[in-house]
Amino acid sequence: MAQYVVLIYESESEYANAAPEVYGQIMDAHNRFAEQVVERGGKVAGGNALQATDTATSIRGDVVTDGPFVETKEALGGFYLLEADDLDQAIKMAKMVPARFGGVEVRPVMVFPAA
């Protein structure tokens, strides 16, 4: 099995303007996601929601600034570390990650050759 990180990018303003019940729906969806991954023979090895980009701090060299590294329309809001046999399986699982206000990026974790 190989490891993939799924990065969740979503519009923070759409999130903020959403009706209260939406949060509950999204939490439920994330809980369901973990079950669905197991059902499909994969594994969730880690993951977390991140606090909003206005809590971010960026550092370039010695300079510390307020805010995310890159200002994007859709901000990085969370991630999952998944185990899958190949990209097809990873994509199948990534499609199930709740991300209604944006989308996800799937990135393979670096494999360093055994010595």
Partner 1 sequence: MDEVKGALTAAHRHEWARVLAATVRVAGDIDLAQECAQDAYVSALATWRLDGIPRTPGAWLTTTARRKALDSPRRAAALRARIPLLMEPGGPAGSRANNTVASPSPETQLTEMDDIPDDRLRLVFTCCHPALAREAQVALTLRLVCGLTTEQIAHAFLVSEPTMAARVTRAKKKISGARIPYRVPDPHELPERLDAVLTAVHLVFTAGHTAPTGDSLVRPDLVDRSIELCKVLVDLMPDEREVRGLLALILLTDARRMTRVNEGGQLVLLEDQDRSRWDRAAIERGRGMVLEALRGGRPGRFVIQAAIAALHAEAPRFADTDWAEIVDLYDLLLDTWPSPVVALNRVVAVGFRSGAEAGLQALEQLEADDGPALSTYHYLPATRADFLRRLGHDQAAAAAYRRALALAQNDVERAFLEGRLTTLTTS
The contact set with partner 1 (CB under 8 A) reads 2, 85-88, 91, 106, 108, 111, 113-114
Smaller CB separation from partner 1, 64 or 111: 111
AA identity, residue 61: G
Closest separation in Å from C-beta 3 to partner 1: 10
By C-beta, is 4 or 101 nearer to partner 1? 4
Q: Is 7 helix (H, G, I), strand (E, B) or coil?
A: strand
Beta carbons of 73 and 33 less than 8 angstroms apart: no
Nearer to partner 1, 56 or 91 (CB): 91
What's the closest the beta carbon of residue 95 comes to partner 1, in angstroms? Answer: 12
b (16+ CB within 10 A) / e for 24-39: eebeeebeebeebbee
Min separation Cβ 7 and partner 1, Å: 14
Cα–Cα distance, 11 to 13 (Å, whole number): 6
